[in-house]
Amino acid sequence: MRWTYACPLTELADEMPRQVVIENLAVCLVRIGSEVFAIRDECTHEAVPLSEGDVADGAIECWRHGSRFDLRTGDVLNPPAVRAVVTYPARINDGQVQVDLGV
């Protein structure tokens, strides 16, 4: 794995999505308790930032049309989206959030 710095953990409020740009790619980070999730910051239904949506029950909801995605798997939980969103491994290392984009 190739871990890349994303942001300090202190910049992630619980269940509040945040966009970061890593290697020219917009990534949505979400902290839930002691876990951090990273997904591509683009709804698969319509290319709008998921980081502007709401988080509840381990999922993020697109603000535009209400599609929900599981933060662990990227799976679509309700339409109108039909394709999963890309997820990335994320970890907390010494107070910093790191993401592996797999590139």
Question: Structural domain boundaries of the chain?
Answer: 4-99
- For residue 103, what pLDDT is reported? 66
Q: Does the pLDDT value for residue 80 go beyond 80?
A: yes
* pTM as predicted: 0.96
Q: What residues does 98 pair with on adjacent strands? A: 5, 91
Give 34-71 pLDDT, tens digit per residue: 999 999 999 999 999 999 999 999 999 999 999 999 99
Grade residue 94 by pLDDT with cuts at 50, 70 and 90.
very high
Grade residue 1 by pLDDT with cuts at 50, 70 and 90.
confident
Pick the CATH number of 4-99 from 3.10.450.350, 2.60.40.10, 1.10.10.60, 2.102.10.10: 2.102.10.10
23-39 burial: b if 16+ Cβ within 10 Å, else e: eeeebbbbbbeeebbbb
